[in-house]
Amino acid sequence: MNSELLEKLKYPIGKFEWNTTYSPADLKQALLKIKNLHVQLEELVKPLPPAVLSRRYRPEGWTIAQVVHHLADSHMHSYLRFKHALLEENPTIKNYEEVKWASLPDASSLEIDYSLHLLKALHQRWVLFLENLSPEDFKRSYIHSERNKSYPLDTTLMIYAWHGEHHVQHIKNAIKQGY
């Protein structure tokens, strides 16, 4: 497989583009994407049989089921990072090795209902939390230990709105033509 095709399979909606300023409308749109992700996912994956859930979105990539589990793991981490950033002064957050997490039994199972339920509840809490942040709160940040970079919460919200769309497209691609 050529590198251009592999890059398109890895980033079907393109890579996240980091900006330094976001309007209230941008943040509201991102919040809506977070709010609606679990509905979008359920509609997409609930009717899928195990044979389709085991399809990969690219060669050597995760299965559809692993992508669902990854979203639950990743978004749990992000929710907690938001809370730390709000309650502490520029904390250094703990990294997690997502590839290793995806290989654990709870994240490699074809049973996805528990991760869908988790995402629904998590996003309900996360949205309630986000809706009550002030513009100043969105300027608070955390330090990502592995990347040695500061992540303002407004940028982080945009990243996770993109993250959901990114993986929904992976799932759609795997449904159409899995590997």
User: Is 27 within a domain?
Assistant: no
Is 11 contained in some domain? no
Q: Domain range holding 59?
A: 41-176
- pLDDT profile of the chain (179 residues), mean per 10: 92 94 96 98 97 96 97 97 97 93 95 98 98 97 93 98 98 94
The amino acid sitting at 160 is Y
Domain count, the chain: 1
Q: What type of residue sits at position 127? A: V
- Listed residue (48, 65, 66, 40) closest to 120, CA to CA: 40
Whole-number Å distance between alpha carbons of 175 and 146: 33
Tell me, what CATH number does 91's domain have?
1.20.120.450
**What's the pTM?**
0.96
Q: Is residue 21 part of a domain?
A: no
Contact between 174 and 64 (Cβ < 8 Å): yes
User: Is residue 68 within 8 Å of 45, Cβ to Cβ?
Assistant: yes
The answer to whether residue 12 sits within a structural domain is: no
Position 48 scores a pLDDT of 97
Structural contact between residues 162 and 16, judged by C-beta atoms closer than 8 angstroms? yes
Residue 90 lies in a domain: yes
